[in-house]
Chain A
Amino acid sequence: MSLGQALATAMSGLRANQAALALVSSNVANSETPGYIKKSLIQTATTTADYGSSVRIAGVNRELDAFVQAQLRTEMSGAAYANIRSTFLSNLQGVYGNPDSTGTLEAAFNTLTTAIQALSTSPDSQSARIGVINAAQNIAQQLNQASQGVQALRNTAENGLASSVSTANNAMSQIAAINNQLLSGNQTDASTASLLDQRDQYINQLSQLMDIKVVTNGSNQVSVFTTSGVQLVGVEAAKLTFDAQGTVTPNTFWNADPTKSALGTLNIYFPHGGSMDLIATNSIRSGTIAGYIELRDKTLVQAQSQLDQLAASLSSTLSDQTVAGTAAPASTLPQQGFDVDLAGLQSGNVIHVSYKDNVTGRTHNLSIVRVDDPSVLPLPNSATNDPNDQVLGVDFSGGIGSVVTQLNAALGGANLQFSNPSGTTLRVLDDGAANQSDVLSASTTKTVTAANSGAPQFSLFTDGNVAYTGAIGANGSQQIGLAARITVNTGLLSDPAQLVAYAPGTASGDTTRPDFILSQLTNASMYYSPQTGVGTPSAPYKGTLLNYTQQFLSTQGNAADAAKQLADGQSVVLNTLQNKMNATSGVNMDDEMAHLLALQNAYSANARVMSAIKDMYTALLQSM
């Protein structure tokens, strides 16, 4: 009976129309839903009886462009990385202040030199002295604040890592859960499609946090790997842990050795046992997490070391006194050399010995650094900023006898002979008649702590309550974090006259000390550590304090500017891709409406067929 068949076919048409209509309405409703992929009906014609075919609804199709989606995910992690860097660096710019205002390091420095200049003009004026102290306090506070700002940003990065990790864990476990729900088979129904939409959303979330690679198998299961190959999600999700530390100071660093690390590290625990440190293995290379790690352990550490270097140079240029040695007495002939006085030589202070190796004709510059903690020995050559010296750390905790022994052991091969003729005198002699070596000069550079030693040098700035001597201890160099601790000598605060009185009985109009300070601040040229990112280990930057400030502020400004441009560029790429994704896989309202029209027509046509069948049945029945 073909009328019945026609009726059934028309019915199937109506069903298909309704199903398609349902999808249209769902597409329209979700047109603005994040992650919603346009759905379409999969319908096929099925042969029924001998003639004709009816419609079968095979499933729901997600109109996804997998290529654009993969590209989008890559760019997402890149954009997240660039964005976090740009955000932090522009916040860091805030730490350095508005260049035109008074709250900047350079303004504080300029105020200090102006105040010293005024003091040099009116050394007897109490107000000029107070002016210098205020300006010095200002620059110390400026350094403290900048240092705090940098550490606050590091702290934010640390906390950011913690929250990124919990977001990542959530996304990973959701992906695994959806994987499980889809395990029942490779279905194409609406719920499967919506689960796929959800899973893609979680993967997108994860791709913003780190650089990932997604592998989909035939049965709708995805495995997620980092691009470095660590599996994050398979059948089950791995778990990330991050032990965020509450205290972030200039002296806290991440270390691959967990016993030495003072900051949180990122571990991954695999579902079937085993774990690895993702920071130590450098497994995450992009995305927010990589951005945070780089900021916390590199970029901001460098920013801190720039401030520390400024604080250290500012302190030591005013307090370090270099005293040349005296020629050794004639009684040592034929050996010749120099005597230097080690009294007042503090940890981190340096004895310079310059000698010529007559065999090779080369001149060597030795920097013998006083160390009180033997565990830091031997010192690397980078312990001093001078690129042309050879650094030798000597433990002074055993007294001068042990110092002489250590020096002779280390430098006997260089044909130098050290001795201690009396008291605190260190004598360095060449090899005499053999004439393999000649001592060219010897001197000491000491930190002058007393204000009235008779030398214009003195500790205008101190490290908390102790003098800054550049000491190297078990916790690293005293320079680390100095910017956070630098302060104006408390002795000076209680007695501003120390700015002028460099010896007992100095006249109040004596400009010796103010002139010295001014010349050190404006003219003295020195080396700066390549760790600051200014200069390189083989050619460290050399210049005045202002030159250096100029350099690092410029470097930071440049970095922030470049990071912003990169982030802007990434954002354009991402937008374009997102747009493309929306165009290919998103809902197009016009399409839907046109489709709706077609469906309406098809529905009424189907209904028309049914009505015709009904008419035919009626005619048939009436004819009987």
Chain B
Amino acid sequence: MAIDGVGSRSSYIGTSILNLKSQLDDLNQQLATGKISSTYAGQGVNRGLAVGLRAQVSAFDAYADTATNINTRINVANLSLQGLVDLNTQVKTAANGSSIALGTNGQTAGQISAQSAFANAIELLNTRSGDRYLFSGRATDTPPTATADEILNGSADGTRAGLSQVITERKTADLGASGMGRLNMSGAGVSPITLAEDVAPSVFGLKLSAASSTLTGATVTGPAGSPPGISVNLNGVNPSEGDKLSITFKLPDGTSESVTLTATTKSPPQPGEFLIGATAANTTDNLQGALSGAVKTLANTSLVAASAVAASNGFFGSPPMRVDTSSLPLDSATGLVAGTPTNTISWYTGEVAQSATDSARGTAVGKIDQSITVQYGARANEDAFRVQLQNIAVYAAVTTSATDPYANGQITALSQRVALNLSPQQGVQTIQDIQADFAGAQTAMKAAGARQAQVKTMTQTMLDSIEGVSPEETATKILALQTSLSASYQTTAMLYQLSLAKFL
């Protein structure tokens, strides 16, 4: 407002001085805060732009926070992955080359080391970054697996079966009551010799896959019929020395093994041979005895190992599968049944995939830029982890009786299978694949982070040019104002001195 009535000289000068004074105050505040104004109004025409720029800077900070967070998680997860890779190598080496001498607990040194390796692998999968489980999919507050002890040995109260029990049950089911791998064989003195599966359909025991022979004059038929069977009839003709009978079996873990018997005249015949008798009937008996022994050996060595591997594969499935004893006893069971949460340990406790397209990586998605997201989720039941766990576990869980005549064969067969399965398989996900995914995410974040840092600097510079002031400029303005203000004061004072009243 105009200053009214403080005399003709004073009003205009007074207002001007007040004006200068308030400008000086403003400049002082600018110098102190480094900001041009404390209101939107004072920021000038670019005030709207400044709102956007501040939001951008804030978003960059948020993205940077996210990236830091995710980087930490991936780094922690990577440590676990590397640990798992090392364990894989360690167990594979043990299975490949360790001694087959059994310790007091019925396990070899390699198996005992596999036990600690399994416990370690479980621990690595249960790793947390902060409060977050990294291998549980979206259920980040739930540990991804049951404890190693529970998985191997079942719940402490014995109500829920662990892997050991599932393996034992399956072993009984695969061997059958006669220990012949669920095969029935004709007795001595019966011709033709028949070898048939006990029941069809059944998932247990040895499966007849093929039969061939070079036995002179003999007829080998099958496998045919239901349940499938093979018959060998010498037709009253003695085979020549060196003639062979070969039968191929399919084992529960998907491997195949053949039994080949060669006719010989040398007595006693070596394993894999049968003696040509005086008559064809004698030879038939010899062949029957040799075949029976060979099948029994196969059942008690490779089949036992394959059974354990298959049992472990079922146990680590979702849901865990075990021998169905609902209608038949263990040794004559024909099928598998899903274990329930009340009778079987469920090894994976994290989130399961909601659909076929619900990838494990997609369970944790971080937004690291306006339109860039990185996926870094993982589930412990991914193939790479599951294959490794189930093979280490089976190696760790199987025990062999030292008094068992087939002990060496069993251990050898098991070790071979474990070593083979722990090697990378064609078309099966490996831990290295997951590491590659994570590395990709980290690379993307690094690139985004570098770009954002650059843009943020530019944004901040622009923001400073809108809301900031240069101290030099402000100081200069203050100096100029000071001069002008003191001149005004001086002039005003002089003006008041200049009155005729003084000179009268």
Are the chains A and B members of one assembly? yes
Q: How far is the CA of A546 from the CA of B50 in the complex (A)?
A: 12
A418 located at the interface, meaning its Cβ lies under 8 Å from any Cβ of chain B in the complex? no
- 1/0 per position for B20-50, CB-CB distance to A under 8 A? 0000000000000101001111111101111
Q: Which of A79, A99, A111 is B51 in contact with, Cβ under 8 Å?
A: A99
- Looking at the assembled complex, report how far the CB atom of A93 sits from the nearest CB atom of chain B, in whole angstroms: 4
Known: A122-B130, A560-B40, A588-B8. 16 other contacts (CB 8 A): A80-B1, A114-B58, A117-B62, A118-B62, A118-B65, A121-B66, A122-B69, A509-B140, A509-B364, A511-B364, A515-B365, A554-B47, A557-B43, A571-B1, A575-B11, A593-B499
CB < 8 Å: which of A36, A96, A509 contacts B141? A509
Determine, out of A6-14, A27-35, A173-181, A397-405, the stretch whose residues face the partner at the interface.
Answer: A27-35
Considering the complex, give the chain B residue whose CB is closest to the CB of A106: B51
Judged by a CB distance under 8 angstroms, whether B182 is at the interface is: no
Interface readout for A432-445 with B: 1 if CB under 8 Å, 0 if not?
00000000000000
CB distance from A252 to the nearest CB of B (A): 27
Q: What is the minimal beta-carbon distance from B164 to any residue of chain A, in angstroms?
A: 31
Q: Verify if B54 is at the interface (C-beta below 8 Å from A).
A: yes
Chain A, range 556-580, C-beta contacts under 8 Å to B:
556-561, 564, 571, 574-579
Note all chain A residues with C-beta closer than 8 A to B59.
110, 113-114, 117, 522
B2 within 8 A of A: yes
A-B interface, 4 closest residue pairs, ranked by CB to CB distance from nearest? A34-B5, A554-B48, A509-B140, A557-B40
The one of A36, A120, A564 in contact with B5, judged by C-beta atoms closer than 8 angstroms, is A36
**A257 interfacial by beta-carbon distance below 8 Å:** no
Decide yes or no whether A583 CB sits under 8 A from chain B: yes
Residue of A nearest to B38 (CB): A98
Does B15 sit at the interface, judged by CB under 8 A?
yes
Q: Is A579 within 8 A of B131, CB to CB?
A: no
Nearest to B501 among chain A residues (CB) is A593
B363 within 8 Å of A by Cβ?
yes
Closest to A600 in B: B504
- Number of chain B interface residues as a range: 35 or more
Closest Cβ of chain A to B129, distance in Å, is 10
Contacts of A89 in B (CB 8 A): 41
Residues of chain A lying within 8 A (CB to CB) of residue B5? 32-36
- Answer yes or no: A100 CB below 8 A from chain B CBs: yes
The reply to whether B132 and A509 contact each other, CB–CB distance below 8 Å, is yes
B137 at the A interface (CB under 8 A) = yes
Known: A546-B52, A578-B11, A582-B8. A125 touches B351 (CB 8 A): no
Interface size of A in residues (CB-CB distance below 8 Å)? 72
Residue with the highest number of chain B CB atoms closer than 10 Å, among A515, A559, A575, A576: A575
Question: Does B7 sit within 8 A of A, measured CB to CB?
Answer: yes
Assess whether A109 is in contact with B40, with CB atoms less than 8 Å apart: no
A29 CA to B364 CA, complexed, in Å: 87
Collect the chain A residues with CB atoms within 8 Å of residue B65's CB. 114, 117-118, 121
Known contacts A509-B137, A578-B11, A579-B8; A593/B55 CB under 8 A: no
Interface residues of A in 477-525 (CB under 8 A from B): 507-511, 515, 518, 522
Is A113 a contact of B58 with CB atoms below 8 Å? yes
B467 with A117: CB separation less than 8 A: no
Interfacial chain B residues near A83, Cβ < 8 Å: 1
Does A507 lie within 8 Å of B351, measured CB to CB? yes
In the complex, residue of chain A having the shortest beta-carbon distance to the beta carbon of B468:
A100
Tell whether, in the assembled complex, residue B39 and residue A560 are in contact, meaning their CB atoms are under 8 Å apart.
yes
CB atoms of A93 and B39 under 8 A apart:
yes
What residues on B are CB-neighbors of A557 within 8 Å?
Answer: 39-43, 47-48
Smallest beta-carbon distance B497→chain A, Å:
12
Whether A575 and B15, one on each chain, are in contact in the complex, defined by CB atoms closer than 8 angstroms, is: yes
Q: Roughly how many angstroms separate A578 CA and B142 CA in the complex, as a whole number?
A: 80
Which residues of A sit under 8 angstroms from B58, Cβ to Cβ? 110-111, 113-114
Q: Is A94 within 8 A of B39, CB to CB?
A: yes
CB-based contact B500/A553 at 8 Å: no
The closest CB in chain B to the CB of A564 belongs to B41
Chain B residues numbered 46-94 whose CB sits less than 8 Å from any CB in chain A: 47-52, 54-55, 58-59, 61-63, 65-66, 69-70
Report the minimal beta-carbon distance from A24 to chain B, rounded to whole angstroms.
Answer: 11
